[in-house]
Structure 1
Amino acid sequence: MSAHHSDTITRRCLLTGTAAFAATAALASAGCAGGSGQGTAGSSGSAAAGDVDSAHQVIVAMSPTSEPAAGFDPLVSWGCGEHIHEPLIQSTLITTDADLAFQGDLATSWECSEDGLTWTFLLRDDVVFSDGEPLSAEDVAFTVNSAVASDTFESDLSMVDEAVALDGATVELHLNKPYNALLYTLAVLGIVPAHAYGEGYGAAPVGSGRYLLERWDRGQQAIFRANPSYYGEAPRMERVVVVFMDEDAALAAVQAGEVDIAYTYATHAHQAFDGFELVNYATVDSRGISLPAVPAGATKAGQGDVAYAAGNDVTCDVAVRRAIIMGLDRDRVIEHVLEGFGAPAFSVSDGMPWSSADMEVACDPEGACALLDAAGWVPGEDGVRAKDGLRVAFDLWYASDDSVRQAMAYEVAAQLAQLGLEVSPRGGSWDEIYPHQYEAPVLWGWGSNSPVEVYALNYSTGWGNYACYESAAIDGHLDDALAQQAIEDSYVHWQLAAWDGEDGFAPEGAATWAWVANVDHLYFKRTGLDVAEQKPHPHGHGWSLVNNVDRWSWA
């Protein structure tokens, strides 16, 4: 291990000159935004050099995967999607504070009908788009209806039948089933202008949010400038430069002092750079292993005519699933794989108001072995347990381009081998993994500031029900959670879905997931940069860091 680290550091030093040069080239126009670019804002074009002083500008390095392929279009993937975040350029109906409580943005008030099928929002009347046109309820209805009808929108609004503008300041959302988690989606769905939305919007977005897109150089950087027409408190950080860099280039840019904050991973936490400090932010970014709960030979319908093989003859035994969950030493995983930058994970939503204490389980290898013994899984001559000729052996798939998941998969395999389980880590692309997602354990990354994933991963027909465990009781509790008029009243129902004393997806029940660790998000941050109070970061490094960039400042 130490030899590997030494080689990595040496190679990085050799790369520093080249990577730093590339970083400098990408950043050269940040202070001279009048140069040519592949995309410009839909307002007044680029700003002149030097019109924003360094005390009101920040340069953020993000992974190339953070760059939105379709641009800054909320109806494709900007804001909504797997890695959810606030859209910055566009306003949202509502937003969340640091404690994840809902607050109004465009909406001054909102209410739900008694049957849970109609949500009504009253809007403020002082909002204009960056082209000077006023924002009205028609724009909100247009955005929601377009998202519902879109094949490219990445969040789920299938519960919405129609959005209707009752007048210029009132919009109703008509649902086909009670679904209060809709509010979490609305908190990140940017409102687009009905009069100015069309082809090319992502490259030249017209919005009403805190920032304007000043410039976008595809594959290199995006530059945002404070919106002078913004209705809220003026951003303290007047210009935000986001550069898209792979990890080596980002570290080189930190070393050269060319960025102010850059993402990194635990494998590089031992490094130090003059003028920078390593900071870690709490997350809801969970790594967990799905455990098929039905025998092999089943099928699971995918999109269109696609049908996936489903089921596993080993993990379909609940004793095996419970033994895996009980036998994992999560603290050891965090120490060995994450260099201590993480926390034990027991669910997809640890620490959230809707999480359940019944998901937690103590590490108990002896108890795990006792479970397997009682279920008839007896160690063979090779140490691997078997029953009726079937060995406790299975593949554990992980994304091969993720070194942390690879290390975690091998650490898990080594731990489970001590219980008599033969686990074979298998790395692959997601195209290689997906055909096996319902028939073999997979090491996934999930987590968001919303209970939507609890529903998706555990509802009988949920798109993320990789275990294929179906339960009317769990479905009923999840439906009850979504039917509550007050979000606070839903928490107990989410918790009952985990375990109601007889059924649930918790370890005491169906034990459909072996959650391993919550991964801290690490950054090298320039000393003196105050990033204000961060919300818990959802799955994936990226835009969630700058949710509150308008409140950032320099000491």
Structure 2
Amino acid sequence: MSKLSKGMSRRGFAKMTATGAMALSLGGILSACAGGSQGSTGSSDASTGTGPNGESQVIITMTPSSEPSAGFDPFISWGCGEHVHEPLIQSTLITTDANLEFANDLATSYECSHDGMEWTFVIRDDVKFTDGEPLTAEDVAFTINGIKESAASQADLTMVNEAVAVDDTTVVIKMAKPFNALLYTLAVVGIVPAHAHDENYGSNPIGSGRYMLEQWDRGQQVILRANPDYYGDAPLMERVVVLFVEEDASLAAAQAGQADVAYTSATLAAGVPQGYTLLNCASVDSRGISLPVVEPGGTIEHQGAEYPTGNAVTCDLALRRAINYAVDRQAVADHVLNGYGRVAYSVSDGMPWSSDDMKCERDVEAAQEMLADAGWVMGDDGVLAKGDVRAEFDLYYAAGDSVRQAIANEFASQMEEIGIRANVIGDSWDVLYQHQFSDPIVWGWGSNSPIEVYNLNYSDGSGNYACLDNASVDYYLDEALAQPRVEDSYDYWKSAQWDGETGFAPRGDASWVWFVNVDHLYFMRDGLTVAEQKPHPHGHGWSLANNVDRWSWN
């Protein structure tokens, strides 16, 4: 917009002014980075895709939470945290392609013993760290053992006993139990040098990956530069600048031409800046509500603390099933996501391990019959009751997350129609965690790995907020992980969801109600070719850059 419209409100003018200020601030960051440390000279040009020395460059905005607060250390969370992604600075044993099939990176081959208790990897002998030292199996073993023993690590390697370097190119991972989903974790665990890893590694990482850390201005940006000694195909994109900004500032960066790829949301996606197109990346980033299946009064130990468990309303099986059948998922996708998303029936829709039995088409009449058959009677105030129990519960969401707030309100409105009252409460995560096993909460989950199916539904799973304890589900999940070949596990994952008689699907335990998969949206500068993307996991950050080395300018 070139001038102030007569009809523009004071609020709109203030927002425009703030956007301009953000753009100026971003311009300052980019200007500062051009003459920054470690040899950068000249000025970056965000409009032509060239860096300070004429190299190909892309500028990407990400959420502030995408910045690795502890640095680029796989022993803590880099690459393998909640929002999993390829570590870029470090190499990984294996990786996954756009179809989520495994491919070798450092590994030249690997195999699993018939009992699932040992994984043997043979690795390349031509890889060097950026300090010139060779990468050997000893570094692989050091990394895996170090992550396993690190209290700060966000990569779960508790199923590993130890990793042993047999020789310079062979490492054996000895398991505490069969767990083939280990492969998905190894695909994002960056290998660090045993000779150069210490408490300062996160700020000064030495790796063997596609990129090196050129500059890190905490709270602002990260700059990566192509590794000239990388053993694979040389990166087409030689320099990557990542700006950590809030959503409004990301929009401002695109409007000012200060970013080549700027993340956005469904509420802002219609306003594509001139010179950009909307990049829509499919995701397995699901939004759903946990429905505690046990009666109140119990407690659970979780991560060193004790929490109350159970809910007097959602412990009723018929009510949980009715909720799943009554909800209008398409309305959530349309009203909350403006169409930038799709209905979801599980945490893993579309994945090889997902089951069609999770699908639950809307049938309000069937839901009402389920409730009536279970003894729920409509009260004068429009709320169902069963004896002394009213069909009323608190529903929590993370305050400040507009999408989760809208989902909670849309869900509550829909449930009113069948006599279920959800009292929507927005609060901090510190408060929400106190209710995680006793009250429904709007969660965001999703990963390019079946491990989240395990964590959310296994009796001892780290995300089993519904307190589900189904022996058949546990059996199938254990069997899925025990298969020496990942491909042979899919039917077991599906049986855990529904085997014809039981499972956690809506016709079974109905321990969750899932609504939508959230599309990951970006404003992309014209002339930039972004390589084919894998389905994005939960989190709006580094997963976009998994293959940034294959991006190019036309």
TM-score by length of 2: 0.96
For residues 397-436 of structure 1, the aligned pairs below 5 Å read 397-436=396-435
Residue identity in the other structure for 2:493: W
Identify if the C-alpha distance between structure 1 residues 270 and 174 changes in structure 2 by more than 3 Å, giving closer, same or farther: same
For residues 214-293 of structure 1, the aligned pairs below 5 Å read 214-293=214-293
Identify if the C-alpha distance between structure 1 residues 6 and 451 changes in structure 2 by more than 3 Å, giving closer, same or farther: farther
Q: What is the Cα deviation at residue 184 of structure 1?
A: 0.3
C-alpha RMSD of the superposition: 1.3
Residue identity in the other structure for 2:349: D
Q: What is the Cα deviation at residue 31 of structure 1?
A: 3.3
Q: Check if 1:130 corresponds to 2:133.
A: no
1:218-259 Cα deviation digits (max 9, x unpaired): 011100000000000000000000011111111111111011
Identity %, equivalent residues: 60
Q: What is the Cα deviation at residue 9 of structure 1?
A: 4.8
User: Residue in 1 aligned with 2:522?
Assistant: 523
Q: Give the secondary structure class of the aligned counterpart of 1:214.
A: strand
User: Residue in 2 aligned with 1:39?
Assistant: none
Residue identity in the other structure for 2:150: S
For residues 63-142 of structure 1, the aligned pairs below 5 Å read 63-142=63-142
Q: What is the Cα deviation at residue 8 of structure 1?
A: 6.8
User: Residue in 2 aligned with 1:348?
Assistant: 347
2:39 to 37, 41, 46: 46
For residues 358-507 of structure 1, the aligned pairs below 5 Å read 358-507=357-506
Q: Give the secondary structure class of the aligned counterpart of 1:237.
A: coil
| Conserved 8 A contact 1:55-1:554 | no
Q: Check if 1:198 corresponds to 2:198.
A: yes
Q: What is the Cα deviation at residue 502 of structure 1?
A: 1.7
2:32 to 29, 32, 35: 29
Residue identity in the other structure for 1:269: A
Residue identity in the other structure for 2:111: E
Residue identity in the other structure for 1:390: V
Residue identity in the other structure for 1:191: I
TM-score by length of 1: 0.96
Q: What is the Cα deviation at residue 472 of structure 1?
A: 1.2
1:373-416 Cα deviation digits (max 9, x unpaired): 11111110111000102110001110002011001100000001
Q: 2: CA distance between counterparts of 1:373 and 1:341?
A: 36
Residue identity in the other structure for 1:17: G
Runs of 4+ displaced beyond 2 Å = 5-12, 29-32, 45-55
Q: 2: CA distance between counterparts of 1:313 and 1:249?
A: 44
| Conserved 8 A contact 2:357-2:498 | yes
Residue identity in the other structure for 1:544: S
User: Residue in 2 aligned with 1:42?
Assistant: none
1:60-94 Cα deviation digits (max 9, x unpaired): 01111110000111110100011000000000000
Runs (5+) with no aligned partner, structure 2: 1-7, 44-50
| Conserved 8 A contact 2:116-2:484 | yes
| Conserved 8 A contact 1:46-1:215 | no
Residue identity in the other structure for 2:490: Y
Q: Give the secondary structure class of the aligned counterpart of 1:372.
A: helix
Q: Give the secondary structure class of the aligned counterpart of 1:537.
A: coil
User: Residue in 2 aligned with 1:40?
Assistant: none
User: Residue in 1 aligned with 2:4?
Assistant: none
Identify if the C-alpha distance between structure 1 residues 205 and 8 changes in structure 2 by more than 3 Å, giving closer, same or farther: farther
| Conserved 8 A contact 2:55-2:238 | no
Q: Check if 1:18 corresponds to 2:17.
A: no
Residue identity in the other structure for 1:308: Y
Q: What is the Cα deviation at residue 161 of structure 1?
A: 0.5
Q: What is the Cα deviation at residue 10 of structure 1?
A: 4.2
| Conserved 8 A contact 2:42-2:53 | no
Identify if the C-alpha distance between structure 1 residues 383 and 371 changes in structure 2 by more than 3 Å, giving closer, same or farther: same
Identify if the C-alpha distance between structure 1 residues 369 and 11 changes in structure 2 by more than 3 Å, giving closer, same or farther: farther
Q: Check if 1:303 corresponds to 2:296.
A: no
Q: What is the Cα deviation at residue 272 of structure 1?
A: 2.6
Residue identity in the other structure for 1:23: L
How many residues matched?
Answer: 540
Q: Give the secondary structure class of the aligned counterpart of 2:430.
A: helix
1:297-332 Cα deviation digits (max 9, x unpaired): 11111122x211000111001111011111111111
Q: 2: CA distance between counterparts of 1:92 and 1:61?
A: 25
Q: Give the secondary structure class of the aligned counterpart of 1:198.
A: coil
Q: Tell me which moved more, 271-280 or 530-539.
A: 271-280
User: Residue in 1 aligned with 2:3?
Assistant: none
Identify if the C-alpha distance between structure 1 residues 290 and 100 changes in structure 2 by more than 3 Å, giving closer, same or farther: same
1:87-116 Cα deviation digits (max 9, x unpaired): 000000000000000000000000001110
User: Residue in 1 aligned with 2:157?
Assistant: 157
Q: 1: CA distance between counterparts of 2:13 and 2:438?
A: 42
Q: 2: CA distance between counterparts of 1:9 and 1:74?
A: 43
Identify if the C-alpha distance between structure 1 residues 157 and 553 changes in structure 2 by more than 3 Å, giving closer, same or farther: same
Q: Give the secondary structure class of the aligned counterpart of 2:23.
A: helix
Residue identity in the other structure for 2:233: E
User: Residue in 2 aligned with 1:60?
Assistant: 60
Identify if the C-alpha distance between structure 1 residues 426 and 476 changes in structure 2 by more than 3 Å, giving closer, same or farther: same
Q: What is the Cα deviation at residue 7 of structure 1?
A: 7.8
| Conserved 8 A contact 1:275-1:527 | yes
1:484-503 Cα deviation digits (max 9, x unpaired): 11111000000000011121
Identify if the C-alpha distance between structure 1 residues 430 and 93 changes in structure 2 by more than 3 Å, giving closer, same or farther: same
| Conserved 8 A contact 2:41-2:53 | no
Q: What is the Cα deviation at residue 6 of structure 1?
A: 7.5
Q: 2: CA distance between counterparts of 1:152 and 1:301?
A: 19
User: Residue in 1 aligned with 2:547?
Assistant: 548
Q: Give the secondary structure class of the aligned counterpart of 2:15.
A: helix
Q: 2: CA distance between counterparts of 1:9 and 1:517?
A: 31
Q: Give the secondary structure class of the aligned counterpart of 2:318.
A: helix
